[in-house]
Amino acid sequence: MTNTFTDGMQGQSNEDLNILDFVNTLKRRKRIILFTTSIFFLGSIIWTSFERWKFPVFSGSFTILINDPLSNSGDSRKPSSFRAATSSSGRLFQELALNSKTSDIPTLIQLLKSPLLLNSISSKYNLSINNLISKISIKTVGERLTEAKGVLKVSLQARDIKTGSKILKDLSKTYLEAALNQRQQRLSDGLLFLNTQRPALESKLSELQIQLANFRSKNNLIEPSKEGLQLKRRQLEMENKIFELETYNDTLENVKKEVLEGKINSTGFKEAITPGSLSSEFTNSRGNGLTINDADQGLIEKLQIVEKELAEARATYTNNSSVVRSLQERLEKLRPLIQKSQIEAVEVAIDFNNSNIVKAKSQESELQKKFLKLPKLIKEYEDIQQELLIAKENLSGLVSARETFLLEMAQSSLPWKIIVPPKINPIPVAPSYRNNIFLGLALGLAIGIVIALLRDLLDNGFHTTLEIEQALKLPLIGYMPFIPAFNAIREERSSIIPVYNELTKIENKSNYERFFFQESLRSIYTSIKFLNAEESIKTIILSSSIPKEGKSLLNILLAKTLSELGRKVLLIDADLRKPAVHSRLGINNIQGLSNLLTQEEKPWQSYVQEIKEFDNFNVLTAGTIPPDPTRLLGSSRMKTFLSEVKNSGKYDLIIIDTPPILGLADTSIMSQLVDGLILIVTLDNIDRRLAKDSLMQIKKIKGPVLG
């Protein structure tokens, strides 16, 4: 998880660095970019002006209406009389006959720009067909979201106004004639199409009519839907009758039970067996489901008479009288006979009623079978009816469309209309200043950036401190900004003291320059102190790869800055070939390092000079230039001298100014005698390969390179 995050951060950092390097490269080479862009900008203006004067291009156009916005239909290719048709089948046949189901504007534009229509014009004006097509532009009018697809704008570019005007007029005439011819041709083709379709439609209609007649004859049906409703009603009626019969059957069973239990008398029996409203086909000849014959009726009447006489006798005689007992005996003899007769009558009625139920259910089953066959017949009948209706409508629509076609063919009105006449603009439209200048700027900027990148790629110098760190793989100890005030010192080999005093004046307006270089030098000293935590660094060399990188100036400024911080500093000029420290500080070089190394009778302190203007700042100049500086610097005397100075405790830091590293062995030999060496690299001045060679040369002899 941590590795992934770290890799992601490094990738992001590298990407940011690449972008930053790209931006810095453009800043460094901005003069190249500006120069290239300016050249292309001026060139585009000059070239455009020449082209517009020598080879101007004029533009003209006309607008043509291909769709009538006041019509009811949105199809511009449909003749006006067609739009009055109300039958959907008629409109369908018209669209099929005209092949106008869709409106394809892109295809129409391709047709208008095709050689089929433009050959005559190209021949008339001695133009190649491809050249003429390239000069014509056709598009719909309006904005992209609100384009008028029924209006086309035809534009033409020409180098001659008169010729362009003539071509535009011929184009408008050609398009109108082509539209008229196309309409007539389509009407003719459409009429032919309709004529070929009519026999098939008439044959289809006749076939369907015969099929309908055969269906009715075969199934003995006129309207299956209506007859189905009648069957359903009869079926419901039969279900009701069955229900009534079953209900009456239950009534008879109850009567039989009550007769057996003696709960019903002769009068109640007649009322109980009345069947109610039964259909005549389910009753006997007397209209009842249960009948009482004459013998049974006589018994009932005798019973009623005896019961009446018994009632009267009881009102006159006692219950034990012979009259009452005689009447009771007669009544008891009649009742079993009547009960038997009633039960027989009920059972006969039940049997008769059951047979009626079976008959009714049989009739219901027959009705159900007939009804179940009807849906299939109804569907077949409706399918035939629907096809017959469509066939009639199609034939009617075809006849209507044919009459409309004949009417349209008799007319000669133009289907398209020119709403904006052909006209050429007298002001040239090409070459375009705006487009060419924009193109010139873009091209100049792009080429300028490419040249700048190539120039930067071929430039082997360092441009940023980050490049130095990445190339040399050493820590950056400090950065010294460019101070314009010191620029003339190197060229004139003059003293630094007057310039330094001027910069350090409080009232000087350029105090920010002093602040920058002083803070930079203090930062360098701080970095040096913390480079080696185990042992303090007291003797250092600040040297460069080649001359004129400012090493002597930097050594002096570093020494002076540290002396102002209260540090005691000794600056030794070990450049015994071209010494410069004495001239930079305005002191003499009569006796110096070379004299000290060759004359042992004097102590080293006698050769050291104090700088009056600067406290805590001592200098040991180079002295007389010896014949072999390398041997002298590598001598044991030099090693002893440096050891004595370092161990004397008199100085906090000893800075040694040596010759450039490359080409001479002086600095390499001296680096073995000091605590550390700092390589000076000048931005935008030194080839990075030289800095690498210098570093490699020091590392070969295992010199202590600090950064």
CB 662 within 8 A of CB 545: yes
pLDDT digits 0-9 by tens, 150-194: 788 899 888 888 888 999 999 989 888 888 887 777 777 777 777
What is the rounded CA–CA span in Å between residue 89 and residue 110? Answer: 32
Pairing type for strands 653-657 and 539-544 reads parallel
Q: Is the pLDDT of residue 15 over 60?
A: no
pLDDT digits 0-9 by tens, 615-656: 888 999 988 888 888 888 888 888 888 888 888 889 988 999
Q: Is the pLDDT of residue 218 over 70?
A: yes
Judged by average pLDDT, the poorest of 349-358, 393-402, 483-492 is: 483-492
Q: Helix (H, G, I), strand (E, B), or coil: what is residue 57?
A: strand
The residue among 399, 456, 384 whose CA lies nearest residue 29 is: 456
Q: Per-residue confidence at 51, pLDDT binned at 50, 70, 90?
A: confident
Q: What is the pLDDT of residue 285?
A: 45
Q: What is the pLDDT of residue 619?
A: 92
The residue among 618, 576, 569 whose CA lies nearest residue 597 is: 576
Contacts of 152 (CB under 8 A, 6+ apart): 63, 64, 66, 105, 108, 109, 112, 138, 139, 140, 141
Judged by average pLDDT, the poorest of 50-64, 114-128, 467-481 is: 467-481
Q: What are phi and psi of 618, to 5 degrees?
A: -115, 155
Q: What is the pLDDT of residue 513?
A: 62
Mean pLDDT of 24-42: 85
The residue among 507, 501, 657 whose CA lies nearest residue 564 is: 501
- Cα distances (Å, whole numbers) of residue 267 to 248, 286, 309, 342, 586: 19, 19, 17, 12, 168
Q: Is the pLDDT of residue 4 over 50?
A: no
Helices 115-124 + 105-112 axis angle, to 10: 30
What is the rounded CA–CA span in Å between residue 18 and residue 23? Answer: 9
Across 205-209, 264-268, 658-662, the highest mean pLDDT is recorded for 658-662
What is the rounded CA–CA span in Å between residue 248 and residue 256? Answer: 12
- Cα distances (Å, whole numbers) of residue 585 to 49, 499, 548: 63, 11, 17
Mean pLDDT of 665-671: 84
- Dihedral sign of CA atoms 310, 314, 319, 324 in order: negative
Mean pLDDT of 507-512: 54
pTM for this predicted structure: 0.46
- Region at 590 (left for phi over 0; alpha for psi -120 to 50; beta for the rest): alpha
Mean per-residue pLDDT over the chain, rounded: 77
The residue among 525, 473, 524 whose CA lies nearest residue 691 is: 473
Q: Is the pLDDT of residue 281 over 50?
A: yes
Q: What is the pLDDT of residue 435?
A: 87
Q: Per-residue confidence at 509, pLDDT binned at 50, 70, 90?
A: very low
Helices 30-54 + 433-458 axis angle, to 10: 150
The residue among 345, 343, 268, 338 whose CA lies nearest residue 299 is: 338
Q: Per-residue confidence at 586, pLDDT binned at 50, 70, 90?
A: confident
| Percent above pLDDT 70 for the chain | 77
Helix, strand, coil % (nearest 5) of the chain?
Answer: 65, 10, 30
Q: Is the pLDDT of residue 64 over 70?
A: yes
Q: Per-residue confidence at 17, pLDDT binned at 50, 70, 90?
A: low
Token output for 342: 């009633």
pLDDT digits 0-9 by tens, 460-478: 677 777 777 777 788 888 8
Q: Per-residue confidence at 512, pLDDT binned at 50, 70, 90?
A: low
Mean pLDDT of 291-318: 70
CB 533 within 8 A of CB 621: no
Q: Which residue shows structure tokens 């449909």? A: 78
Q: Is the pLDDT of residue 267 over 80?
A: no
Mean pLDDT of 403-416: 68
Q: Is the pLDDT of residue 213 over 50?
A: yes
Q: What is the pLDDT of residue 27?
A: 78
Q: Helix (H, G, I), strand (E, B), or coil: what is residue 243?
A: helix
Across 46-55, 257-266, 636-645, the highest mean pLDDT is recorded for 636-645
The residue among 150, 165, 3 whose CA lies nearest residue 77 is: 150
CB 684 within 8 A of CB 602: no
Q: Which residue shows structure tokens 């890799």? A: 7
Q: Find the helix or strand (DSSP H, E) in which 418 lies.
A: strand 417-424
Q: Per-residue confidence at 264, pLDDT binned at 50, 70, 90?
A: low
CB 148 within 8 A of CB 65: no
Rg (alpha carbons) of the chain, rounded to whole number: 64
Judged by average pLDDT, the poorest of 213-227, 471-485, 558-572 is: 213-227
What is the rounded CA–CA span in Å between residue 523 and residue 517? Answer: 10
Contacts of 511 (CB under 8 A, 6+ apart): 503
What is the rounded CA–CA span in Å between residue 157 and residue 429? Answer: 9
Token output for 26: 């453009």
Token output for 549: 């990188």
Mean pLDDT of 17-23: 72
